[in-house]
Structure formats: structure tokens, C-alpha cells
Amino acid sequence: MLTNYIKIALRNLWKHKLFSFINVFGLASGLTVCMLAIAHIKGAFDYDAFHQSRERTYRIISDVVSLTNDKAPFATTPKPLGATLKQQYGFIDEASYVVRSYDEFLGNHKRLSTMGFAVDPGFFRIFSFPLAQGRPATEPNTVVLTQAMARKFFGTANPIGQTLQHQELGNFTVTGVLAELPTKSHLVFDLLFSATSYGVKNRAAVSEWQQYHTGYTYVMLKPGTPAEALDIVLPSVVSRATRGLRFADIKGYSFRTQQLSRLSPARGEMMYGTYEPQVPGLLAEFGIGLITLLLAAFNYVNLTLARSLSRAREVGIRKVSGAVRWQLLGQFMAESVVLSLLALSLAFLMLELVKPMAFVQQWLIGGVRWDWTIWAIFALFSIVAGLLAGIVPARVLSGFEPAQVLRSHSGLRIIRGLSLRKSLIVVQFVVSLVAMIGLLTMVRQMDYMATGDYGFRRERMLNVPINDVPAPRLMNELNRLSGIERVSATSELFGSHGNYQTIKRTRTGQNTSPAFVWSVSEQFVPNMGLTLVAGQNMAAAVADTTGRQVLINEEAVKAFRLGTSRDAVGQVLWLNDSTDVQVVGVVKDFRFTTFAIAVKPLLLHNVPSQFRYVTLSVAAGAEEKVMAEVKQVWKRLRPFDPFEGQWYDDFLEARHTHADDADFMGLLIGLAFSIGCLGLLGMVTYTTQTRVKEIGVRKVMGAEVSQLVWLLSRDFVKLLVIAAAIALPLGYLSGYAFLFSFAYHVSIGFETLGLCVGVLLLLGSLTIGLRTYRAALANPVMSLRSE
């Protein structure tokens, strides 16, 4: 019987090729998105699977109770916790304390910003990060690099034995290079370096039980030790360690454990968390895949029900011949499963096409183990999807009675005469249009951040990273070139994240405010086109000790309550409780970081040792000439280092335009619109086929082609208008939900909503118009000759 069902299914699919193509392509598109989400979910459960002792390794986290009795989970703990547990409890096999660090290292004449972890020797005994060469960084002042970071510093040269320099921590010897990880890890880093020197630098920050947010504690239990043994002792450890301590901003904290094998996916968000995927995010991704698949399922339901009259006669004949309802259900469900398996084959091909996309590799399938289990999940999921898509048509078709069939009643009418088929078309285009409005809003916001007015000069500005070249030497060389208007130096580029520090109004006072701190040369203000509203520019500095003259912006004047801009000139502020600086001028507010936050307090001082970039303002028309000459200067100073200069406009565009994300989102929306348009094409095609004799009669009676086209298409155009009316407010809300996180953002007006609706009506009208126009041109003799 099953073989017979499959044969009938294949014959029906081959007989109705257009409808079969629409259904197969639609289901394949939905399955592709779902497979990407399933692969990401599977990869989330595979995090840290390569560690040999993951089942007996635990991360200890802190539940912090605020002054208002609110409890917040922190992924971090005080530094002494791990050592205390190992010393006092024999069932602890190993303990490690890990501190995340964002630092600049200099190596091979290259100064690079890195994200790393300061680790102790126990780290390499707990975790099994594989080494491609060398040995772990268990000795003082040693470091291991990832392969990507090793290439950035040393190219193809052997990094083992090379030296990385840190301004405060000293020199580090490279002892190893990590291999590519078999799966992803919740710890993401560029390098791992010995914590000995780092502990000296941060002694006050990481050696106190009051500091619960400085690093991560991992413990490995001895084989056979239950996790409850660790859970039992943690409350007593907290009680003894915090007895007599006073916390300024919290009431206290407690500890609990997370097994490393269950760390990912994370059930909830934690403060100072690591990089394991969150369950809500995974569910959202899977939801997007299900929505895409649902749109395709709508097509299947729609087209199957549209052909219900012809299939109803088949059902009537089978029932008269003695078939019972469950047999008919089996036949229709078999057709649906065969269709889903064909769609699965196409989905595999589509998956191979999207796999190389940067967004897909970075955020979805990077590090996923493609073993037999994931392919089995894909196959099972497609079969289930086919069964679910076919259940509604199967129940409807198998429920027809022969008498109803003879009277051509299908019983498919629902609320107020609006058919189920038309409802599904509306839903398809509503979802597609809402997604399109959201994507266009996102793209416009990214373009606004890349091209908007920041308040500083960005045209014809060239930024050159100086690495370890002395800034004064490079600036002197560049000043000699013609076509360069000014040369200045800075610690960071405007438009980046910036360096956030706490500034005090007085050394011992409590009037503090966080502020962004930039180190710039005295030519930076005129070079960047900044406006002084009070005071004067900083004097030239030849050493860091002369950098106590500072400029602040108007927002800093308000934050520190310095009165007016004129009143602020001459007043003193304190950096790091140890350095007093004098305000010599106030600059007009401008946007110097991301558009996500409003203008914050800014402090500019002249500290040459912190300079990382040289910025050149170039005369109009001299861009190519200056670029070529700057490259020659760089080649002379650093013959073996690549030139990495970049125009400010290009930097801001690369910083804020996430083309890979937009491309992937565009692909999803394109699939959604394709599914909707193909479903609409199928409906229009079937409708025109059923009305072919009516068209012939009307043409014989003198109807024009344009009248026939409008007659055939007006009901479908109404559906598009209804979809647009429903989607516009929903799309507006979804767009503003995205823009809500930006302090400065675009508006959602006619340019967004009108364009999206125009695309919807254009695609829908082309789909409807071309098919109905072709039907209206048909020769009436061909359709009426048998009458």
C-alpha cells in the first residue's frame, strides 16, 4: 500500500509541474533557514566538547544581592575563591582564576589591540585547548597565541620564542600557538598570557573578597566526586570569607556552580558573561526559520485546497469504490512527505550555497560538527514538516462526501466569506513586508551612522597607524609632503568605542563622573575642525609630564558642574586619583563615538606615549598623490610592514556598515518574497485555468484585454492592499523597536514605508498581471470549440 501511495504521489507531482515546483522551492527555502538554525542550536550544545575533563569541571558564579534586595547573577567571583577551595577541600583536583583583559601588545614592529585572558598554570590542566606547536604559558611572562593572532604579528615566520611587549606588564615570550578548535568555546580570546605579572598590576583589584566582578573561577573535581559535594561547602566558604566585610554597593553574595558541559546554551543572561549562546536568541533564530517554513507550508495548503475540486472528484470515486477515510489520509500525507523529501534534497544544495557567507560562518555554523546526527535531525525534521503541512489539506480532502462533490461544494468558506486560501496569501505578504520594512530601517540606520555628520572633519582625512614608529618622527616626515594641510596624532579614532575613565572634580571628593579620555596632539583640534567655545588650545607637549593641560567638551562642563564654559577654564580635575589636570579650553559638543549613545563627557590631553594614529588633512584634488607619497614614507621607515592607512570616510563606513549581516537578512527576505510571489502565481494560474471558458465567452461578447486582465486580477490586488494595510503599522513598530537602542537614528517615513509597499505592489502586480495578461490573450476558439 505504501508503494502505491508513493507512485500516486509522484504521478501527481509530475502532472502538475508548476505547482510542484512552487511547493518544492518554497519548502526547500524554509528548510534551509531551519537547518541553519538547527545547526546553530546543535553547535550550542557542542560548546567546549573537546575538553577532556568537562564533565567534572565547574564554573562558579555569584548571585549578588543589591541594596534593594534584587538578586543578579554574575559569571565572575572574587579571586581568592579558587585557591581557598583547593587548599581546604581535598576533593578539588585543580582550580584556576581567569581574568579577561583588553590590552595592546607590540611585536615584530606591530602594535595590536588584543582580547585575552590572564591565566594561571591550573588553567591548562583544567582545559584542553589544543596546541599546534610549542607548550602552554605556565611560566611567568609567557604567552600563547591563536593562529590568527600569530599571523597578524609574525606573518608566516615561526612565532615560538618571539617577544611581545606590553607597556605596563613588560615583555612576554611566545611559547605556543593554539590549534584550530574542534568546536567553539565559551572563552573567546586572541591570546592567553601568564597571570603573574598581571596580578601585580591589578593587585588591588583582584585580591579582595569584596571584588566579585574581576575574573572567572573554574574548579575541577577529583574523579567520582559528586557535584553536590562542592555545592554543600560553598555557603560556608562565603560565610567565613565575608565575615566582617562591608560592601558599599551591595548587601552580599552567594555562590553556585555550573557544569562546563551544561554551560551552553545559557538559560539566562549574566553580568560579565562569556560567549556561550543564549537560549532566547536560539529560539528567536529557530522562530525565523519556522516562519519561513510556515510561509511555504501556506503555499502547499493554498495550492492543494485550490485544486480541491478536481481532487474532490478523485476522493468521491475512491470512496464509492470502498476506500475509507484513513486510507485517503494516508495517500495525501504520503504525497506531502514525498514533496518534503524532494524539498530536502534541494535544501541541501541551497545550504551548500549559503555556507560560505561570512555571516553564516561567523554567527551560525562556525565550529559545528557535521556528523551523522545532524543529517538525521535534518531528515526527521523535513518529514515532520511535510506531515504537518499536509495534515490540513488531507483532512479537508478526505472529508468530502460524494454528494457534496457532485454539487461542487467544498466547505472551505470561513469568517464573513473570506476564504482560507486568501487569508494565507495575506499572511504571507504581511510577514514579508514587515520583515522588509525592518531590514530597510536597519540598512538606512547603518548608512546614517556611516555617512552622518559627526561634528568633526572627515572628508579627505587619512589615518595612518603608527605601530612602533615614533610619532614625532613620522609626523615630521609627513609634514614635508606637499598636499598635506595639517598633521596630528591621536590615541584612538573618533567613531570608535573610546577609552572610558572615571574623573573626579576634587581628589578626595565624591563628585565623580565617567568620561571618555583621548590623547591628542596640539594640532588635532584645528585639524579635525573642532570648535573652541571658551579658552584656548593645548600647548605642544614633548613629554607626558606636559600633558596636564586638557580640553573638555560642553557635556563635561555640565557633568562636573563647572558653571559656564568660560567658568570651566582654569579649573582642576583629577585622573585616577593621582593626576591633576587643568582645563585650558572647552570644545563644542560633537559625536565622537557610536550613534548608539548620546554625547558623553570628553577629555582631551596631550600624552605622546599614547599616540596610536597619525591623522592627515589633505588638500582637495591631492588625494591620490598624497596617498602614494605617504606609502613611500612608510616603506622607507618600515620596509617589512604593510601600509594600513585608511581614509576616515572608509573607516566610518567599515565601522558602522555591517554588509554581511544585511546580505543575510536580505537573503531571508528575498526567500520570503519569493515564496509569497510563487504562491500567488500558483493561485492566479489555477484561477485563470478554472475561468478559461468565462474568458472565452467574454472575449466573444467584445470584452477588451485590459478589462479581462482587471477582472481576473482585481481580487488578488485587493489581497495585496489588505496585506499592505496590515503590515504598515506592524512594520513601523518593528522598525522603531530596532531604532530604540540608538540615541541618534533615522526616522521611519514615506521613504521607508512607501518604498516597501511599492516593492510589494510591483512584485505582486507583475506576478498577477503577466499571468492574467497571458490568459486574456488566449484564442476563445480553443476554449469554446467543445461547447
For the stretch 354-376, pLDDT in tens is 888 877 877 777 778 788 888 89
3-state secondary structure of 645: coil
In this model, does residue 244 exceed pLDDT 80?
no
List residues bridging with 72 in a β-sheet: 64
Contact 175, 135 (CB under 8 A): yes
Strand-by-strand arrangement of the 646-647 sheet = 484-490, 613-618, 461-465, 646-647
In this model, does residue 418 exceed pLDDT 70?
no
Instruction: Tell me what pLDDT residue 205 has.
Output: 38
E strand spans, 483-529: 484-490, 500-504, 512-519
Instruction: Tell me what pLDDT residue 160 has.
Output: 95
**Residue 751, φ and ψ in degrees, nearest 5:** -65, -25
Distance, in Å, from the CA atom of 214 to the CA atom of 235, rounded to the nearest integer, reads 20
Distance, in Å, from the CA atom of 136 to the CA atom of 123, rounded to the nearest integer, reads 10
Which cell numbers in the block locate residue 637? 621607515
Per-residue pLDDT averaged across 287-291, rounded?
Answer: 82
* DSSP one-letter string for 108-123: TTEEEEEEEEEE-HHH
Distance, in Å, from the CA atom of 106 to the CA atom of 110, rounded to the nearest integer, reads 5
Contact 745, 449 (CB under 8 A): no
Range of lowest pLDDT (222-236, 313-327, 576-590): 313-327
In this model, does residue 94 exceed pLDDT 90?
yes
- 563 conformational bin, left if phi > 0, alpha if psi -120 to 50, beta if neither: left
Alpha helices in 452-576 (DSSP H): 471-479, 524-527, 554-559, 565-568
Per-residue pLDDT averaged across 435-445, rounded?
Answer: 87
Instruction: Tell me what pLDDT residue 614 has.
Output: 94
pTM of the model: 0.74
pLDDT, tens digit (0-9, with 9 covering 90-100), for 719-740: 889 999 999 999 999 888 889 8
3-state secondary structure of 668: helix
- Report residue 413's pLDDT band, with 50, 70 and 90 as the boundaries: very low
Distance, in Å, from the CA atom of 428 to the CA atom of 430, rounded to the nearest integer, reads 6
In this model, does residue 457 exceed pLDDT 80?
yes
3-state secondary structure of 261: helix
Q: Are strands 170-178 and 142-145 parallel, antiparallel or unpaired?
A: parallel
List residues bridging with 604 in a β-sheet: 518, 551
Residue 412: other Cβ atoms inside 10 A? 12
Instruction: Tell me what pLDDT residue 199 has.
Output: 52
Distance, in Å, from the CA atom of 25 to the CA atom of 589, rounded to the nearest integer, reads 54
Instruction: Tell me what pLDDT residue 785 has.
Output: 61
In this model, does residue 412 exceed pLDDT 70?
no
Per-residue pLDDT averaged across 701-708, rounded?
Answer: 83
Instruction: Tell me what pLDDT residue 411 has.
Output: 42
Q: Are strands 250-259 and 57-66 parallel, antiparallel or unpaired?
A: antiparallel
Element (H, E) at 216: strand 216-221
Contact 705, 412 (CB under 8 A): no
The overall average pLDDT reported for the chain is 84
Please name which of 403, 385, 408 lies closest in space to residue 311, comparing C-alpha atoms.
Answer: 408
- Report residue 61's pLDDT band, with 50, 70 and 90 as the boundaries: very high
- Report residue 307's pLDDT band, with 50, 70 and 90 as the boundaries: low
Range of lowest pLDDT (93-97, 208-212, 507-511): 507-511
Instruction: Tell me what pLDDT residue 510 has.
Output: 65
- Report residue 282's pLDDT band, with 50, 70 and 90 as the boundaries: confident
Instruction: Tell me what pLDDT residue 2 has.
Output: 65
Contact 274, 292 (CB under 8 A): no
List residues bridging with 618 in a β-sheet: 484
Domain boundaries, the chain: 2-38+280-443+659-784, 54-262, 468-640
Kindly report whether the peptide bond that precedes residue 265 is cis, defined as omega within 30 degrees of 0. yes
pLDDT, tens digit (0-9, with 9 covering 90-100), for 769-784: 877 887 777 777 666 6
Instruction: Tell me what pLDDT residue 207 has.
Output: 41
In this model, does residue 586 exceed pLDDT 60?
yes
Which cell numbers in the block locate residue 453? 555628520
- Percent of the chain with pLDDT strictly greater than 90: 32
Per-residue pLDDT averaged across 503-532, rounded?
Answer: 85
Q: What is the four-CA torsion angle of 46, 48, 51, 52, rounded to 10 degrees?
A: -40
In this model, does residue 6 exceed pLDDT 80?
no
Contact 669, 435 (CB under 8 A): yes
Range of lowest pLDDT (153-167, 521-535, 766-780): 766-780
pLDDT, tens digit (0-9, with 9 covering 90-100), for 688-700: 777 778 888 887 8
Type of residue at 310: S
Q: What secondary structure letter does DSSP report for 101?
A: E
